[in-house]
Chain A
């Protein structure tokens, strides 16, 4: 939080044209997909798990949707229903893949990092096989609205992001399910003995993470007006995990904050923007990002030790 404030002040002083609506828009639209994926990731990490497969799930959802509304798989009628169908199918597929992760974790007791590694490796391959590795270009305003539309001047994906963040924050803080997530992460055995349906909670968080990744995948392709299975969501798992870690969610589970994740993602984005706007090469920005992650987690550790 303090870091974010400091960054804002730094930028107001040193970066030219910082305090403009355009800068705000650029940063917000860029950070949207990371935040959405990171929200799902926060819930998974809250149970003490991790989801490496989010990037691959984004690629699959991004590959499926255009195939449907472009009529590659089967002929479609009017564009409106076709787009709706495409979005539904893509999100359903993403959720099912998330469920599959949860199934491996909850019922086979496979460590989350290995269980989701399976889809991390296979998922992008599936997306590439689906599209034969080809770029799918489209010009479908009805669909691209979710990436480019601006009701009241606010980008649609920012609204989607805000809705998901608010909903998730409410679920995590105020509902039984939210408490069950943290109980599972805090002490799984104790949670199970006190009647928390641990397995079902795990299934649910991985499904939610898959769903969030699906949404993010659709937004990415809508912005680009093209879907490239090789690139959509590449490296997203790292960005999302970094946002969660910087935001103050314990990576060992048991404590999670959605708002923290939002701030974490904004901080990372702002650091990157600050560096780029001040002429630092992208590669050096990577090194700085690494330092921030380490510093944030280290501070977290110190805070806990005290």
Chain B
């Protein structure tokens, strides 16, 4: 497959960045405090959890897989982190990330060893993680310890930047380096492009696929740690629908669900685009011109996804589609 820098494909990939900038410009022009310190940090703080989950999802999707378990893994991670939080910041974080890695490892084994379709394997672990979270938390939210300083992971600042945003930023930087400058990253895309061919070329497809699920689980666990720290409690029933939010962000970011094509940077743009869309909606409500109930959020989110996938279908698959 030759990949020419086709204008349409470029637009498909970077359209999301343009849309994001346009949205920010619109907000800047229309609302007083939109580009204000408080608003920026709160948007970043809140969306960093989704950003982490979406990053893992992005890697899994690039191999042609999917990870539906991220939402309940984050919930399980938040419960584990809250339970371990009295022992300090590190044990709390380690517990959350640890259970995330565990779920990720199970996903990876089911997909690579048992050859179960990613969709089904992660659907099953989604149920299992959600059940485990409820069991572990005794069906209620688990308060975190405020003495050990654990909440700083979600509420604290590093200089003027919210710590969750810093964590997400570092994760994206690492993700971008891995994808673009290491053989692992190139293998991820090769597997998504044509798994059989990659295997025959001698690439360690199973090991790399396992790694993507492991990373996705770990990142979901980390998101759970931040969730617990930010809201002061481990939430066994949080995280419902996160997987779909993450998939939506990845798709909006121009990564193809069939695998083989993707970018870490535009995934971040996708997360921010969807996040800021709601921020704009809140501001618009605040202006008093219109009043949209919270229920409109999901309608608008869905409509937005619809527009993006239709544009992508027109731009990307048309040139290759059989006439």
User: Which A residues are within 8 Å of any B CB, using their own CB?
Assistant: 50, 104, 108-111, 113-115, 117-126, 128-129, 132-133, 238, 241-242, 245, 251-252, 281-287, 289-291, 293-294, 297-298, 301
A164 to B131: give the CA distance in the assembly, Å: 32
Across the A-B interface, give the 6 residue pairs with the lowest CB-CB distance, nearest first: A122-B302, A286-B131, A125-B298, A283-B134, A290-B128, A128-B295
Q: Hey, what's the 0/1 contact readout for B114-133 against A, CB within 8 Å counting as 1?
A: 11110111011111101111
Tell me, rounded to whole Å, the shortest Cβ–Cβ distance linking A191 to chain B.
Answer: 14
Tell me, rounded to whole Å, the shortest Cβ–Cβ distance linking A289 to chain B.
Answer: 6
A102 to B5: give the CA distance in the assembly, Å: 32
Q: Does B248 sit at the interface, judged by CB under 8 A? A: yes
- Other than the given A129-B293, A283-B133, 20 more pairs (CB < 8 A) read A104-B310, A109-B313, A110-B309, A117-B244, A118-B302, A118-B305, A121-B305, A122-B299, A125-B295, A125-B296, A132-B295, A238-B123, A238-B126, A241-B123, A242-B123, A290-B124, A291-B128, A293-B124, A293-B127, A294-B114
CB pairs A–B below 8 angstroms (18 shown): A108-B313, A110-B310, A110-B313, A121-B248, A121-B298, A121-B302, A129-B299, A133-B293, A251-B117, A282-B134, A283-B135, A289-B131, A290-B124, A290-B126, A290-B127, A291-B128, A297-B117, A298-B116
Query: Do A283 and B139 contact each other (CB < 8 Å), given the known contacts A122-B302, A122-B303, A133-B295?
Result: yes
Q: Does B269 sit at the interface, judged by CB under 8 A? A: no
- Asked if B309 and A287 sit within 8 Å, CB to CB, the answer is no
Q: Does B66 sit at the interface, judged by CB under 8 A? A: yes
- Asked if A121 and B301 sit within 8 Å, CB to CB, the answer is yes
- Asked if B115 and A301 sit within 8 Å, CB to CB, the answer is yes
A104 to B302: give the CA distance in the assembly, Å: 14
- Asked if B119 and A298 sit within 8 Å, CB to CB, the answer is no
Query: Do A294 and B302 contact each other (CB < 8 Å), given the known contacts A108-B310, A113-B257?
Result: no
Query: Do A123 and B114 contact each other (CB < 8 Å), given the known contacts A118-B309, A290-B125, A294-B121?
Result: no
With a 10 A CB-CB cut-off, give which of B114, B298, B300, B317 has the most chain A CB atoms: B298
Q: CB within 8 A of B132: which of A132, A282, A287, A301?
A: A287
Tell me, rounded to whole Å, the shortest Cβ–Cβ distance linking B79 to chain A.
Answer: 11
Q: Does B215 sit at the interface, judged by CB under 8 A? A: no
B132 neighbours in A (Cβ, 8 Å) = 283, 287
A241 neighbours in B (Cβ, 8 Å) = 120, 123
Query: Do A119 and B309 contact each other (CB < 8 Å), given the known contacts A238-B127, A290-B125?
Result: no
With a 10 A CB-CB cut-off, give which of A110, A118, A293 has the most chain B CB atoms: A118
- Asked if B257 and A301 sit within 8 Å, CB to CB, the answer is no
Give the number of A-B contacts (CB < 8 Å).
136
Q: Does B306 sit at the interface, judged by CB under 8 A? A: yes
Q: Give the interface SS of chain A, mostly helix, strand, loop or mixed.
A: helix
Q: CB within 8 A of A109: which of B241, B305, B317?
A: B317
A267 to B285: give the CA distance in the assembly, Å: 48
- Asked if A125 and B297 sit within 8 Å, CB to CB, the answer is yes
Query: Do A286 and B301 contact each other (CB < 8 Å), given the known contacts A133-B295, A293-B120, A294-B124?
Result: no
Q: Does B201 sit at the interface, judged by CB under 8 A? A: no
Tell me, rounded to whole Å, the shortest Cβ–Cβ distance linking B203 to chain A.
Answer: 23
- CB nearest neighbor in B for A121: B302
Tell me, rounded to whole Å, the shortest Cβ–Cβ distance linking B296 to chain A.
Answer: 6
Beta-carbon contacts under 8 Å, B269-318 to A: 293, 295-303, 305-306, 309-310, 313-314, 317
A119 neighbours in B (Cβ, 8 Å) = 302
- Asked if B302 and A123 sit within 8 Å, CB to CB, the answer is yes
A93 to B297: give the CA distance in the assembly, Å: 22
- Asked if B313 and A284 sit within 8 Å, CB to CB, the answer is no
Q: CB within 8 A of A114: which of B127, B300, B309?
A: B309
B321 neighbours in A (Cβ, 8 Å) = 109
A251 to B119: give the CA distance in the assembly, Å: 9
- Asked if B309 and A122 sit within 8 Å, CB to CB, the answer is no
Query: Do A129 and B296 contact each other (CB < 8 Å), given the known contacts A113-B257, A117-B247, A286-B134?
Result: yes
A121 to B295: give the CA distance in the assembly, Å: 11
A301 neighbours in B (Cβ, 8 Å) = 114-116
A126 neighbours in B (Cβ, 8 Å) = 299
Query: Do A298 and B114 contact each other (CB < 8 Å), given the known contacts A122-B303, A124-B298, A125-B302?
Result: yes
Query: Do A245 and B120 contact each other (CB < 8 Å), given the known contacts A113-B66, A124-B298, A290-B127?
Result: yes
